[in-house]
Chain A
Amino acid sequence: MLAYIVRRLLYAIPILIGVNLLTFSLFFLVNSPDDMARMHLGMKRVTPEAIVKWKQERGYDKPLMYNANISGLGAFTDTIFFEKSVSLFAFNFGSADDGRDIGFDISQRMWPSLAIAVPVFIVGILVNITFAMLLAFFRATYIDIWGVVLCVVLMSISALFYIIGGQFLIGKLLHLVPISGYDTGLSAVKFLILPVIIGIIGGIGAGSRWYRTIFLEEINRDYVRTARAKGLSELAVLFRHVLKNAMIPILTGAVVVIPALFMGSLLLESFFGIPGLGSYTIDAIRNQDFAIVRAMVFLGSVLYIFGLILTDISYTLVDPRIRLD
């Protein structure tokens, strides 16, 4: 198992290098640092001096790949590529446009993100599985048919509508919770409850339908027929046999996103004014802060690859037949 994990980690390196090269070419090759400076400074008051100053402040004044002025190893390390891209591997994210350290900001903003993403994830999965089990229990009846129609309707509603509608109904009309904001400690709960509920409702449609197909696939297997034949009640069949055997496809979808929970939810955080990584990313995109976007792209892919490894490990936990070597 350990050998397997180490091998998977090694496989991740070329992929991360690829991601790194991709972002590097998007941000530095397609557009030179001069272009970025001009865009940032606005087209009118661009002087060559201002561009040079802008580049100097951000460390973009070095050569891209190869520094001919310095001999030896420095020719490769004293370049934009090394300082901005390779250093990401050491999780050294550099500083944002306003001079703040990105690594520090990420470590601070991680917690509010988790405070929303973890409840949405856990409660969401439980709700979806319960609903899907209900549909599977009543399969091929009107409850099932209309349940699926309801799922399709729920899926067809824009996430923006859930958020805006929820804020409007609960926050503005009923005045149950504040519309947006954040607080530290336990008093954060009243700010978190609405986004969490909206996040869960927004995911019910697609989630339940997905789990329902998984359950229905299992329900037609032979072992289920055997279980029924030996006299088990339908509920016992569903919970003791179907649910257990459906764990593999459920885990495939669910475990991958666990590490990505750190990244937070872009929309929820930005609408509810929660200072997490999601709103951090959106603000960075709106302010065109390329350093933060680069850092988040890299972090996102690291977490995704980590999630894939976790998925494989989780298989061995639910299915003893699977061995990773």
Chain B
Amino acid sequence: MSKKFWLSPLLLVIGMSTLLAVLPGMLGVKPVVLWTDRFIYLLVVAVIFLIAYIRHKPHLRQPWRHVLNNRQAMVAAVILCAYVAVGLLDSIHYRQPLQGEKAHNGEKLYSVEVFSALDALLSHLRERVEKTYSAPFAYRLYSMETMIASDGSQYRAYPRLKYGAAHLQDPASQRGRDILFKTLLGAGQGLIIFAVSVLLLLAYLARSQALSFKQAWRQCWRAESASALRIVLYTLAVLMVLSSVVWKLSFFYHVFGTDKVGQDVLYLALKSIRTGLVIGTLTTMIMLPFAILLGIMAGYFRGWVDDLIQYIYTTLSSVPSILLIAAAVLSIQVYMTNHPELFESVRDQADLKLLALCVVLGITSWTGLCRLLRGETLKLREMDYIQAATAFGVGRFTIIVRHLLPNVLHIVLIMVVLDFSGLVLAEAVLSYIGIGVDPSTISWGNMINGARLELAREPIVWWSLVAAFVFMFTLVLAANLFSDAVRDAFDPHLNMRDKT
């Protein structure tokens, strides 16, 4: 391993940012970077460097090896990666050029609507909007309409959908067979993609470890040490087949039905992933510097610094968090309504509101981490190596950065991973109370909120509720399983998970 661990991630980051900078020009679109996008890019860069750093340090590699060998955790990690991939695709925003129109100085004009790379990928879902509700795989609308027969008389019936199952002549009899056929076709395609990727992986393994292809095959599928790898491959297979089937079907049907204004529920559920991830990650990222700095300062300096910091976090944590969030979000709402000039567009405002929500959630959740770090620092500062550093005349700042910080980082990591799932769940609850993300932002909370009243209808409109819950549940479950493994690997004796 080379000494300069930062070299290859740096190249990767430079490569990725040039790609992001050059690609929009080639495709003729105008890139748009929202505020949350900036933080997400920053986070991605930080994670890339962190991974390189961890690979470089044996004592950090060790616990991660535990996680990598944990089968439950690896299944969870694959699912998390799928979510993250969707979320990242949804964080590259652009504006399309307007066809044929030019401003008088010859510049290109761009549409006001901001799309993301995910939108471009799912354009068939986004554009095929029905009139109102329709059930999953339906070919008729949910509600009856008055229609005119060929002889001029009026009658009431369920109209055919504009796009769902529109390719079928007689959907009532053909639909079952068509769905089965397309499912098998999609599954076949998924398996082919999976097989190709496994072959590529094996070829890479064979090359990097100087094995023959057959040996690599045997090592991958037989060896005891590769059991975690195998489970990853199985999960990947399931994921690829599933998504390929859904992808195939989504061109002909509304797989999860449509919502009140006729939007495809699958599209909404996929778009919600970004909102959930942003809340789960940016919140901790925003609060992290404060929590770390204040926690270590309180523990290391003691005296009045400690008193002051303790006072601040006791005060903040004594307010029930939901009320503190409500109070802060309400006053942000007032501020935003009174200062509309600060925002370029509605999209911009919704985005900043999402960021503000992250900040508010961060303010209410940093106290726990701060308290833990203070306690740990109190313990560490009496340790011999810190005493020795002090005796050698090492400055306080250096002691904090070089000796204390690295030794509390495992606590920080565990807390970040543990907090994630709770934050994703909190988003839905906050949206229900009315202090969550902007109503125009697509999120699971808003989906549930919009759909919950429709349960009273006859027949029941259950699909958007179920879709939102299933997508949210999968993410949270994967995050919970993964965080358990991380906690066990890094600190088996530290049980910091609060009851809440």
Q: What CA separation (Å) do A137 and B69 show in the bound complex?
A: 28
Q: What CA separation (Å) do A43 and B465 show in the bound complex?
A: 34
Q: Which residue of the partner chain B has the closest CB to A42?
A: B337
Q: Interface-forming stretch among A151-159, A185-193, A229-237?
A: A151-159
Q: Which residue of the partner chain B has the closest CB to A34?
A: B338
Minimum CB–CB distance from A91 to chain B (whole Å) comes to: 17
Interface pair A35/B335, CB less than 8 Å apart:
yes
Question: A273: CB under 8 A from chain B?
Answer: no
Which B residues lie within 8 Å of A294 (CB)? Answer: 327
Which A residues lie within 8 Å of B88 (CB)? Answer: none
Task: Tell me which of A15, A31, A159 contacts B331 (CB under 8 A).
Answer: A31
Interface pair A153/B499, CB less than 8 Å apart:
no
Task: Tell me which of B311, B323, B456 contacts A15 (CB under 8 A).
Answer: B311
Interface bits B318-354 vs A (CB < 8 Å: 1, else 0)? 1110111011101101110110000000000000000
Which A residues lie within 8 Å of B498 (CB)? Answer: 253
Task: Tell me which of A18, A43, A207, A281 contacts B315 (CB under 8 A).
Answer: A18
Which B residues lie within 8 Å of A36 (CB)? Answer: 334
Which B residues lie within 8 Å of A281 (CB)? Answer: 323, 326
Task: Tell me which of B315, B432, B480 contacts A22 (CB under 8 A).
Answer: B315
Interface pair A285/B435, CB less than 8 Å apart:
yes
Q: What CA separation (Å) do A13 and B123 show in the bound complex?
A: 58
Interface bits A265-294 vs B (CB < 8 Å: 1, else 0)? 011001000000000011001101010011
Interface pair B323/A296, CB less than 8 Å apart:
yes
Question: A80: CB under 8 A from chain B?
Answer: no
Question: A324: CB under 8 A from chain B?
Answer: no
Minimum CB–CB distance from B463 to chain A (whole Å) comes to: 14
Interface pair B473/A156, CB less than 8 Å apart:
yes
Interface pair B429/A160, CB less than 8 Å apart:
yes
Question: B147: CB under 8 A from chain A?
Answer: no
Which A residues lie within 8 Å of B326 (CB)? Answer: 281, 285, 293
Which A residues lie within 8 Å of B497 (CB)? Answer: 206, 209-210, 213
Question: B433: CB under 8 A from chain A?
Answer: yes
Interface pair B481/A152, CB less than 8 Å apart:
yes
Interface of A is mostly: helix
Question: A258: CB under 8 A from chain B?
Answer: no
Which B residues lie within 8 Å of A43 (CB)? Answer: 337
Question: B39: CB under 8 A from chain A?
Answer: no
Question: A70: CB under 8 A from chain B?
Answer: no
Interface bits A154-174 vs B (CB < 8 Å: 1, else 0)? 011111110010011000100
Q: Interface-forming stretch among A58-66, A81-89, A102-110, A300-308?
A: A300-308
Minimum CB–CB distance from A153 to chain B (whole Å) comes to: 6
Minimum CB–CB distance from B333 to chain A (whole Å) comes to: 7
Q: What CA separation (Å) do A14 and B319 show in the bound complex?
A: 14
Interface pair B432/A160, CB less than 8 Å apart:
yes
Which A residues lie within 8 Å of B448 (CB)? Answer: 158, 160, 164
Our count of residue pairs bridging A and B at CB distance below 8 angstroms stands at 132
Task: Tell me which of B318, B425, B476 contacts A19 (CB under 8 A).
Answer: B318
Minimum CB–CB distance from B106 to chain A (whole Å) comes to: 38
Which B residues lie within 8 Å of A68 (CB)? Answer: none
Task: Tell me which of B320, B335, B432, B480 contacts A31 (CB under 8 A).
Answer: B335
Question: B484: CB under 8 A from chain A?
Answer: yes
Q: How large is the interface on B (under 10, 10 to 19, 20 to 34, 35 or more residues)?
A: 35 or more
Question: B477: CB under 8 A from chain A?
Answer: yes
Question: A260: CB under 8 A from chain B?
Answer: yes
Question: A263: CB under 8 A from chain B?
Answer: yes
Interface pair B499/A22, CB less than 8 Å apart:
no
Question: A52: CB under 8 A from chain B?
Answer: no
Interface pair B495/A305, CB less than 8 Å apart:
no
Which B residues lie within 8 Å of A286 (CB)? Answer: 433-434
Minimum CB–CB distance from B231 to chain A (whole Å) comes to: 15
Minimum CB–CB distance from A257 to chain B (whole Å) comes to: 9
Which A residues lie within 8 Å of B456 (CB)? Answer: 172
Q: What CA separation (Å) do A310 and B500 show in the bound complex?
A: 19
Which A residues lie within 8 Å of B421 (CB)? Answer: 155-156
Q: What CA separation (Å) do A26 and B498 show in the bound complex?
A: 28
Question: A23: CB under 8 A from chain B?
Answer: yes
Q: Which residues from 335 to 393 on chain B have a C-beta closer than 8 Å to any C-beta of chain A?
A: 335, 337-338
Minimum CB–CB distance from A125 to chain B (whole Å) comes to: 10
Question: B144: CB under 8 A from chain A?
Answer: no
Q: What CA separation (Å) do A153 and B421 show in the bound complex?
A: 12
Task: Tell me which of A153, A159, A213, A288 contacts B495 (CB under 8 A).
Answer: A213
Interface pair A152/B480, CB less than 8 Å apart:
yes
Which B residues lie within 8 Å of A288 (CB)? Answer: 330, 333-334
Q: What CA separation (Å) do A156 and B428 show in the bound complex?
A: 13
Q: What CA separation (Å) do A35 and B428 show in the bound complex?
A: 28
Q: What CA separation (Å) do A172 and B453 show in the bound complex?
A: 13
Task: Tell me which of B318, B337, B433 contacts A304 (CB under 8 A).
Answer: B318
Interface pair B476/A26, CB less than 8 Å apart:
no
Which A residues lie within 8 Å of B311 (CB)? Answer: 14-15, 18
Q: Which residue of the partner chain B has the closest CB to A43?
A: B337
Interface pair B338/A39, CB less than 8 Å apart:
yes
10 pairs, A vs B, C-beta closer than 8 Å: A15-B311, A158-B429, A161-B473, A217-B495, A266-B433, A285-B435, A288-B334, A293-B330, A300-B323, A305-B318
